[in-house]
């Protein structure tokens, strides 16, 4: 290919791809005097593996198969338009190779920037593996396959997004997962027809049973061990390319306070940690509402000494109790949101300092009483006991609902609000699975792994949330 031809190739590619800033065509002269053109997008591909290869091999007998040493080779089908083949592969990050007297073909080099599978920031654990998913779907699959080298492990591909053409993998155990569940998952995913999907949160909104609920009807995780646990229970995992989060379906209310750590400690410690987390979640949801209900409008239900003590602290506070709590809650929300956005390094220092100064000033000026600050503080810290960040957000929403009903109708409103939330929860399903399992309807095998964590040797049956086709995990451990 001459220089003139090379220039025309650049023009052609610019025309095909819309003249992007990162299009590049590199010409490599061979020993025989012929030239090979390499076309690629600088932002996506690194030509080094191909050029290195070309310097090492005998360039007289080059063919498509020779380039397999530099990367994965793709050749256009006979019926595929050549321009379409070139553009598609360029955008995937391949290098298009123009060999004399041959059709152009693509070489995919493993050159995209990757980060190592580090521990997820939002799902830290004391025990257990430290790796987390990264952005590449195949690397994520490898994290799963290495843990579960079972021939039944399936990873079915679905492409979603007219423009993004995002790879989605539905991962499950073929002989454990309910076929109807897998069919339903694929069917719901297949119905999504939008121009772009690039994050599981977007998928999640489309595929959940109840589109308006604030409760998570699927679990999002960055931990491979959590996905393995779920797959072994007959659930399906949905992996999205270029995203480290994985969706697990179906799930139940019971899953919202279970964390992988629970299963790595012995069952006494695991149960204690889980119980603490459950109490934390209840406090996060109900404490501010209950405080407003009992102190604000139904103090007759409090022990006299406690009621008088709180009333003493609230002497001279100009705001009604619900506004006082709301003000404190808004302050906490602002700190929380600002803490996430502040530059790393300054966020902790600044957050703590301002928190102390503002908190102290609010008490000194008499806008917020000390008991209110204690209650709001406990509730805020308790919301972080949720094993998952998105679950913590749900608890915050329900907390405000209870705060609102308590402000209007006191303790009566608190109960009505709590029952309303529970009715809503009881009406939910996740991919057909009842959300209140294992308590409603009562399911003995699930109860073993609910408020407390049963010993592994006793948990012989899989939970029925996903209706697995194989109900038992294994055989009873023999007594010595």
Binding site for other proteins (CB under 8 A): 294, 297-298, 300-306, 409-413, 415-416, 419-420, 422-423, 426-427, 434, 436, 439-442
Cα distances from 426 to residues 193, 206, 286, 441, in angstroms, run 31, 21, 18, 10
The CB-of-410 to other proteins minimum distance in angstroms stands at: 6
Q: Hunting for tokens 């409103």 — which residue is that? A: 413
Q: Name beta bridge partners: 160.
A: 166
* DSSP characters over 142-182: HHHHHH---TTEEEEEEEE-TTT-EEEEEEEETTTS-HHHH
- H/E element, 97: strand 95-98
C-beta of 72: minimal distance to other proteins in Å? 50
The burial of 247, by beta-carbon neighbours within 10 Å (0-12 exposed, 13-18 middle, 19 or more buried), is given as: buried
- Return the number of the residue (9 or 294) whose C-beta is nearest other proteins: 294
Residue with smaller CB distance to other proteins, 400 or 420 = 420
Of 303 and 316, nearer to other proteins (C-beta) is 303
Task: Report the residue number, 59 or 213, with the smaller CB distance to other proteins.
Answer: 213
* Shortest separation between residue 335's beta carbon and other proteins, angstroms: 32
Please give the Cα distance from 300 to 294 (Å, whole number).
8
- The 10 Å Cβ neighbour count of residue 151 is 8
Question: Judged by CB, which is closer to other proteins: 240, or 418?
Answer: 418
Give the DSSP per-residue string, 246-265. Answer: EEEES--GGGGG--HHHHHS
220 or 401: CB nearest other proteins: 401
Q: Considering the complex, what minimum distance in angstroms separates the CB of residue 303 from other proteins?
A: 4
Contacts of 413 (CB under 8 A, 6+ apart): 293, 405, 406, 407
As measured in angstroms, the least distance from the Cβ of 306 to other proteins is 7
As measured in angstroms, the least distance from the Cβ of 401 to other proteins is 13
| Closest CB 407 distance from other proteins, rounded Å | 13
Tokens of 341: 């956005």
Rounded to whole angstroms, the Cα distance separating 246 from 243 reads 8
Residue with smaller CB distance to other proteins, 166 or 406: 406
CB atoms near residue 150 (< 10 Å)? 14
Smallest distance, other proteins to C-beta of residue 249, A: 19
What angle do the packed helices 224-232 and 137-147 form, to 10 degrees? 60
Q: Based on CB atoms, which residue is closest to other proteins, 208 or 226?
A: 208
Query: How far is residue 160's CA from residue 198's CA, in Å, rounded to a whole number?
Result: 9
Rg (CA), the chain: 29
CA dihedral sign, ordered 439, 440, 445, 446: negative
Q: Minimal distance in Å, beta carbon 396 to other proteins?
A: 22
Of 265 and 400, CB closest to other proteins: 400
Q: What is the 3-state secondary structure (H, E, C) of 20-79?
A: CCCEEEEEEECCCCCEEEEEEECCCCCCHHHHHHHHHCCHHHCCHHHHHHCCEEECCCCC
Of the pair 271, 297, the CB lying nearest other proteins is at: 297
Least separation, in Å, of the C-beta of 427 and other proteins? 4
* CA–CA distance, 90 with 22 (Å, rounded to integer): 11
119 vs 429, which CB is nearer to other proteins? 429
Closest separation in Å from C-beta 471 to other proteins: 17
Please report how close the Cβ of residue 259 comes to other proteins at its closest, in angstroms.
22
Closest CA to 20 of 42, 52, 38: 42
Residue placing its CB nearer to other proteins in the complex, 96 or 253: 253
């Amino acid at each position: 290919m001459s220089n003139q031809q090379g220039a025309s190739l650049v023009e052609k590619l610019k025309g095909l791809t819309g003249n992007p800033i990162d299009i590049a065509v590199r010409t490599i002269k061979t020993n025989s005097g012929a030239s090979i053109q390499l076309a690629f997008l600088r932002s996506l591909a690194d030509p080094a593996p191909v050029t290195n290869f070309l310097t090492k091999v005998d360039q007289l007998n080059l063919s498509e198969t020779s380039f397999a040493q530099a990367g994965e080779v793709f050749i256009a089908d006979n019926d595929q338009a050549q321009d379409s083949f070139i553009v598609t592969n360029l955008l995937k990050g391949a290098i298009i190779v123009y060999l004399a007297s041959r059709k152009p073909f693509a070489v995919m080099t493993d050159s995209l920037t990757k980060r190592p599978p580090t521990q997820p920031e939002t799902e830290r654990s004391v025990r257990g593996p430290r790796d987390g998913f990264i952005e590449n779907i195949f690397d994520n699959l490898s994290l799963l396959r290495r843990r579960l080298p079972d021939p039944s492990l399936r990873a079915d591909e679905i492409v979603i997004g007219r423009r993004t053409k995002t790879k989605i993998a539905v991962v499950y155990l073929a002989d454990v997962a309910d076929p109807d569940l897998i069919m339903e998952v694929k069917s719901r995913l297949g119905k999504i027809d939008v121009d772009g999907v690039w994050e599981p949160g977007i998928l999640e909104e489309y595929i959940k049973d109840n589109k308006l609920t604030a409760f998570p009807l699927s679990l999002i995780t960055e931990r491979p061990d959590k996905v393995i646990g779920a797959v072994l229970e007959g659930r399906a995992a949905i992996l999205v390319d270029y995203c480290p989060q994985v969706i697990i379906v179906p799930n139940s209310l019971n899953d919202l306070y279970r964390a992988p750590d629970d299963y790595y400690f012995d069952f006494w410690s695991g149960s204690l940690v889980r119980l603490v987390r459950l109490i934390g979640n209840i406090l996060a949801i109900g404490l501010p509402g209950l405080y407003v209900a009992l102190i604000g409008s139904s103090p007759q239900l409090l022990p006299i000494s406690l009621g008088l003590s709180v009333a003493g602290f609230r002497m001279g506070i100009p705001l009604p109790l619900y506004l006082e709590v709301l003000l404190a809650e808004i302050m906490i929300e602002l700190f929380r949101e600002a803490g996430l956005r502040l530059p790393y390094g300054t966020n902790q220092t600044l957050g703590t300092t301002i928190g102390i100064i503002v908190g102290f000033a609010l008490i000194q000026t008499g806008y917020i009483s000390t008991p209110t600050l204690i209650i709001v503080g406990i509730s805020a810290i308790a919301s972080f006991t949720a094993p998952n960040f998105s679950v913590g957000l749900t608890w915050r929403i329900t907390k405000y609902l209870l705060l609102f009903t308590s402000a209007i109708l006191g303790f009566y409103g608190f109960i009505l609000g709590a029952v309303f939330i529970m009715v809503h929860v009881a009406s939910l399903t996740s991919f057909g699975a009842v959300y209140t399992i294992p308590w409603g309807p009562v399911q003995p095998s699930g109860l073993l792994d609910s408020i407390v964590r049963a010993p592994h040797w006793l948990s012989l049956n899989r939970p029925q949330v996903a209706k697995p086709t194989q109900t038992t995990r294994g055989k009873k451990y023999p007594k010595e």
